[in-house]
Structure 1
Amino acid sequence: MVKELIVKILRRVDAAKPTGSVVSIIMPPRKQISDVSKLLTEELGKSSCIKDRTTRNSVAEAQTSAIQRLKLYNKVPPNGLCLYTGLVMEDDNKGEKKIVIDFEPNRPINLNIYSCGLNFVTDEVKKELLANEPPFGFIIVDGNGALYGTLQGRAKEVINKFTVELPKKHARGGQSSVRFGRLRVEKRHNYLRKVCEVAESCFLVNDRVTVTGLVLAGSADFKNELEKTQMFDPRLAEKVVKVVDICYGGENGFNQAIELSQDALESVRFVKERKSISKFFDEIATDSGMVCYGVADTMKLIDAKSIARVLLFEGSADQICHTCACSCVTPTPMRLSYQYVTPEKIAETREFTDQDGSPLDLEGTEVFTEWITENYRGLGIELELVSDRSPEGTQFLKGFGGVCGFLRYKLEQELLLGGVEWTSDDEDFM
């Protein structure tokens, strides 16, 4: 399921107004349906002890609906399963209706949640599925085999793995020690070559590296040999951010490598974030005319199809930033025109016009962060989320509103933006 559809489903769940207790179930890929069904059956039995009749009925209704919906699944889908059931208010607030929403996430979800309460659990799901986290690669290598995996956010995936039987340092006899030593070195060399070749097939697509950073881990000296060997692709070698010692191989070693390399992974994210914001500041300082900032100006240039990339503060949803999607009716052919409007303007008037003064019909309003997250691919825009953990991030949020756009080409922005020159707060910028 695509990310944009996940956004719509979660928005629908958030908009629901429960009239009583509702059930939220989040299952990781390897969870057993029978275990969750057994848990729901036990909880349904306990609900009969609730004294309040209204609460007892709402809990029983939600849990029964969840049990019935899980009967449609033989096993948990490859990416996990999210299930929401309960009674909510009708759209006109004059009655109540039962909703049952279930979907497979757009990527593997590493959450195991059962909740029966007054609200649906969506915050953890949003952080897990909608976060724009860069992927990191892991190579777990020792004398027993190699494992290749990726970590994106909290979702980990094993891409490939294989085992090997290498000769020990000593043999029972039957051949000279020199010959035995030569064969042992040759087999170790061939094994290391295979590790490098498989790494290229896992982390290189169309001659481009698919991961932001690479971690080498293992319990023996193979990881150090892998880092130093010339057989290791230089494009992958330059992505190595850390080499860690672990006690295990295989998937247990993968889990341990993730724990031991968290500091390096955070550092890579931090450096990439600071690099993007610093580039924006450099463009502002040189007055290159290749960037814009603020929701209003960014929206106008997005509508003009002049924006190539948008930097967005990941917490901007807390700000009251709305977009107004309007469709032209005259005199031009029907098309969607995107504008930035404040909630106050929407309350005051329902009349909108484009830059030529042509009337527009209001199609709907959305929070800016939700709109750009859902539509950036269709608009041909790259979206990068940044935080305020660095001084540059704090300055970007306070001085420029946490929103900026990089233009595809230089243009006369003053004319396009209605003759309004940009102003900035020098105290915030400096």
Structure 2
Amino acid sequence: MELYPDETELWKIKKTYQYLSTIKGNGTSMISLVIPSNEHISKVSKMLSDELATASNIKSRINRSSVLSAISSVQQKLKYYTKTPNNGLIIYCGTFTDENNKEKKILIEIEPLKPLNSSFYICDSKFHTNILLEMIQVDQKIAFIILDGKGALFGILAGNNKEILYKLNVNLPKKHGRGGQSALRFSRIRIEKRTNFIRKICELADQYYLSDFNKNFIEGLVIAGPADLKNELISSELFNEKLREKILSIIDISYGGEIGFNKAIENSSSVLDQLKCIKEKKIIESFFDEIEKDTGKYVYGCEETCNSLTNGFLSKIILWENLEIERMVYIDSFTNLEIVKFKKINECDKTECLDENPKLVFSAKCNVIDWVIENKNKCETQIYIITDRTPEGAQFVKGFGGIGGILKF
């Protein structure tokens, strides 16, 4: 299944962060362990052995027992790893009291979406989840092309990190009244050099922002510079249509080069803040367009959408991030057929269907979004997880229940 970059992984991490942030332990039995990508598992295991010996001296019997149990569980978990995963590893383990006043032990392991550079270990009365929060606040990559008569700069902005990919230096001739009888020749040379400059920029833009061999998956493009050069670039037939569709802003600035790059970032801040909203708006509007045109290539509601997904009919599925609906599975004891029901979480009662039909046996239940993600490899469908913080998102949630999709045919 093709995904919007890391969309479902981000959602899972967000839900894990929200869950772990609410848990409070007794004493200092809640372990938070962060292992960077370059750390050896054997070194971490030795550190935990030392911590185990230290924890044996804790005076409180109950706290000592909980801490020792948590450390031992983490040690056992690390035995499944021969080496640290490419991006590192995060483990949370501890004992807490749930809402039913029962003691419960939890162990969660997370492989981050990007490499970890620092290590962290602490036993506390809560889990330290700031690193998960940083992962949720994903750095969307925005491409920048800064051009003037002296050259062009190609850069990437990801969060607060900027990177210059390439600098092209030229010296374009300016308009002048000199030349006499040679004026036409000077004008022709000027136009020819500008045309070659624009052609080179188009080639480099394809190379750095669209090539299959680079990792610069960009969410948008900002073009900035003085004079008319940037307009010539955008209107050029050589400028890739895929990049033209990603243009977020065209900015007039007085400088080129690195100074121009910094100024373009500063002047486009409001546009960048709206990027997530723009992305959501586009996918929801495409769904609304299918309905407005009455193409029949749309579906909404839990049962209809999930059935279309199971049958491989969906091209795109749109899910509200706070969709609290359970997919409940029952088995008919006579025919052995699977029967699926959808219920809001606060309305879930696994015995309701059993009272209506004694032949049914409750089998399992799962959040709808979790079920879609778990079954993502069985279908060729794009997953879009949206919020209700835009007018379009709020309308989708209120009018269509927060779940729908666009059919392939």
Aligned to 2:350: 347
Q: What percentage of aligned pairs have identical amino acids?
A: 27
CA distance in 1, matches of 2:312, 2:205: 39
Matched, 1:197 2:214: no
Map 1:31-430 → 2, pairs under 5 A? 77=86, 80-88=87-95, 99=107, 101=109, 103=111, 105-107=112-114, 117-121=124-128, 125=132, 128=135, 136-140=142-146, 143=150, 146-149=153-156, 151=158, 154=159, 161-164=165-168, 166=170, 192-204=198-210, 211-217=218-224, 226-227=233-234, 229-244=236-251, 245=253, 257-258=264-265, 260-267=267-274, 269-281=276-288, 283-284=290-291, 289-316=296-323, 319=324, 321-325=325-329, 339-341=341-343, 344=347, 346-348=349-351, 362-409=362-409
Amino acid in the other structure paired with 2:394: T
- In structure 2, distance between residues paired with 1:373 and 1:398: 23
- Alpha-carbon contact 2:31-2:94 (below 8 Å) kept: no
Aligned-residue Cα RMSD (Å) equals 6.0
Distance between the aligned counterparts of 1:124 and 1:57, measured in 2? 27
Residue 397 of structure 1 deviates from its aligned partner by 1.9
Return the alpha-carbon distance in structure 1 between the equivalents of residues 117 and 226 of structure 2: 26
Question: How far is 1:401 from its partner?
Answer: 1.9
Q: Distance in 1 between matches of 2:372 and 2:363?
A: 16
How far is 1:124 from its partner? Answer: 6.8
Distance 2:386 2:230 in 1: 33
Deviations 1:57-85 (A, max 9, x none): 9889989979xx8xx999995xx545234
- SS state at 2:328 partner: strand
CA contact (8 A) 2:35 2:88 kept: yes
**Aligned-residue offset at 1:322:** 0.6
C-alpha displacement of 1:345: 5.2
- String of CA shifts for 1:134-189, please: whole Å, max 9, x gaps: 864333557576334375xx59786x8234554699xxxxxxxx999999998776
TM-score (norm 2): 0.60
Secondary structure (helix, strand or coil) at the match of 2:350 reads: helix
Give the 3 Å change call, closer, same or farther, for CA 168–89 of structure 1 in structure 2: same
Shift in CA distance, 315/99, structure 1 to aligned 2, threshold 3 Å: closer
1:383 is matched by which residue type in structure 2?
I
Gaps of 5+ in 1: 170-177, 410-430
What's 2:30 paired with? 22
**Paired letter, 1:324:** M
The question of whether the paired residues in 2 share the 8 Å contact of 1:324 and 1:365 is answered with yes
Once the two structures are TM-superposed, the CA of residue 310 in structure 1 deviates from its matched residue by 2.0
Give me the whole-angstrom Cα distance separating, in 2, the residues matched to 1:247 and 1:193.
Answer: 21
AA at the equivalent of 1:322: E
- Mean alpha-carbon deviation: is it higher for 279-288 or for 378-387? 279-288
Alpha-carbon distance, 1:402 to partner:
1.5
Say if 1:299 and 1:340, in contact at 8 Å, map to a contact too.
no
TM-score by length of 1: 0.58
- Give the counterpart letter for 1:314 in structure 2: E
CA distance in 2: counterparts of 1:84 and 1:309, whole angstroms = 33
**Which AA in structure 1 matches 2:326?**
H
Task: Name the SS of the counterpart of 1:369 in structure 2.
Answer: helix
How far off its partner does 1:404 sit?
1.9
The structure whose RCO (Cα within 8 Å, separation 6+) is larger is 2
